[in-house]
Amino acid sequence: MSKYYLNYLDELESEAIYILREVWAQFENPVILFSGGKDSILVTHLAKKAFYPSKIPFALMHVDTGHNFPETIQFRNDLVKKLDVKLIVGSVQKSIDQGRVAEERGKNATRNSLQITTLLDAIEENKIDCAIGGGRRDEEKARAKERFFSHRDDFGQWDPKNQRPELWNILNGKHFEGEHFRAFPISNWTEMDVWNYIKRENISIPSLYFAHEREVVFRSNSWIPVSDYLNLEESEQIEKKKIRFRTLGDITITGGIESQADNLDKIVQEVSAMRKTERGDRSDDKRSETAMEDRKKQGYF
């Protein structure tokens, strides 16, 4: 009998597949929130497994800040083509042009929090009743409180103090019209689990995750990539460094780390020796102690 147990990666995989299938069974029009980052790529990979030999029954939805790494967009388009799924793009630029949101000003201006409006607009416009995200509870203290099925009211807001209890493996996705859910199938994965699994399954990810030469400036303790959207300070110097990214977000706020890890083996090794959290290089979380909690309550990912 002793061989009838799963190792932890298989158990996490099985749990995620179970959640993805529940989303499909309980909702009318679910989408996968796809940023081009490793976590949303992982969720997409798990969805492929969950519904094989059918194709993925969800559209991918990308909230496009317009401040992208070109590599991410290329990767997204290739993947959509390969999987033969529908792509929905919510554009922050369009929200700005329509006067729904205003661009931030100043040196550290980003479009990060502007995404909330675009995301909620896209959810409403496309009548989406469940948006599947790659959020993980180990990422941030507000995310540690997330349910697998997380309720959003008709303003798209999260009420962390009044969440539905989730017992055993029974998920309650019942909702009224206008409300929607966020589903987090990889809640219980850590950064290390994600990398170990990507390596084991040999999942392809954007080249940005591997060490490469790039022009960068040093800001808030990490290497910010030079792009058309970066407002350079006079004191800042452009340097060429061999770096890689641990997370991918808006190009203006995603800091890289100096690294020689140019394949998955080396990345897994590097991540296991890391002494800083991955979101430590994200300036969107550094703004205040409760930056993530505040954004999440408004409807952020």
Partner 1 sequence: MEINNNQLLRFTTAGSVDDGKSTLIGRLLYDSKSIFEDQLDSVSKTSAKKGHNGVDLALFTDGLKDEREQGITIDVAYRYFTTPKRKFIIADTPGHIQYTRNMVTGASTANAAVILIDARHGVIEQTKRHSFIASLLNIPHLIVCINKMDLVDYSEEIYNSIITQFEEFSSKLITKDVCFIPISALLGDNVVNYSKNMDWYHEGTLLSVLENLHISSDINKIDARFPVQTVLRPQSEEYRDYRGYAGRIASGIYRVGDEVAVLPSGFQSKIKSINTGEHEIQEAYAPMSVSITLEDDIDVSRGNMIVRKNNQPEMEQEFDVMLCWLANEAAKSRAKYTIVHTSHEERAIIKDVVYKMDINTFERDSEDSNLSMNDIARVKIRTTRRMMLDAYRDNRNTGSIILIDESTNETVAAGMVV
**Residue number with CB closer to partner 1 (84 or 213):** 84
H/E element holding 32? strand 30-33
Stretch of 17-25, 88-96, 120-128, 234-242 contacting partner 1, by CB under 8 A: 17-25
What dihedral do alpha carbons 161, 150, 146, 257 form, nearest 10°? -130
Q: Does 175 bind partner 1 (CB under 8 A)?
A: yes
Among 67, 76, 111, 137, binds partner 1 (CB under 8 A): 137
Question: Considering only residues 69-128, where is the footprint of partner 1 by CB under 8 A?
Answer: none
Which residues, 6+ apart, have CB-to-CB distance to 297 below 8 Å? 157, 158, 159, 160
Cis omega (within 30 of 0) on the bond before 53? Answer: yes
Buried b (16+ CB within 10 A) or exposed e, 124-145: eeeebbbbbbbbbbbbbebbee
Among residues 188, 207, 227, 298, which is the contact residue for partner 1, using CB under 8 A?
188
Beta bridge partner(s), residue 9? none
Closest separation in Å from C-beta 247 to partner 1? 14
- x-or-dash pattern for partner 1, window 246-285, by CB under 8 A? ----------------------------xxxx--x-----
Residue from 113, 172, 207, 298 touching partner 1 (CB under 8 A): that is 172
Residues, the chain: 301
Q: Rule CB under 8 A: say whether 59 interacts with partner 1.
A: no
Between 105 and 275, CB nearer to partner 1? 275
Distance CA(44)–CA(48), nearest Å, equals 6
Decide: helix, strand or coil at residue 131: strand
141 binds partner 1 (CB under 8 A): yes
Please say which residue, 230 or 267, places its beta carbon nearer to partner 1. Answer: 267
Q: Which two tokens stand for residue 199?
A: 């390596």
Count interface residues toward partner 1 (CB under 8 A): 60
Q: Which stretch binds partner 1 (CB under 8 A): 12-20, 62-70, 90-98, 247-255?
A: 12-20
For 72-193, list the strands marked E by DSSP: 87-91, 130-132, 149-152, 180-183
Q: Is 23 left (phi over 0), alpha (psi -120 to 50) or beta?
A: alpha
Among 65, 110, 187, 247, binds partner 1 (CB under 8 A): 187
What strand order describes the sheet that includes 149-152? 87-91, 59-64, 30-33, 130-132, 180-183, 149-152
35 binds partner 1 (CB under 8 A): no
Q: Choose one: 65-73, 93-101, 182-190, 206-214; the region binding partner 1 (CB under 8 A).
A: 182-190
Pick the binder of partner 1 from 89, 93, 96, 145 (CB under 8 A): 145
- What are the distances in angstroms from CA 70 to CA 8, 74, 75, 225? 35, 6, 9, 12
Using the rule CB under 8 A, give the single segment among 15-23, 100-108, 202-210, 234-242 that binds partner 1: 15-23
Interface residues with partner 1 (CB under 8 A)? 1-2, 4-15, 17-18, 21-22, 24-25, 48-55, 137-138, 141-142, 144-145, 160-161, 163-170, 172, 174-176, 187-188, 190, 192-193, 274-277, 280, 290, 293
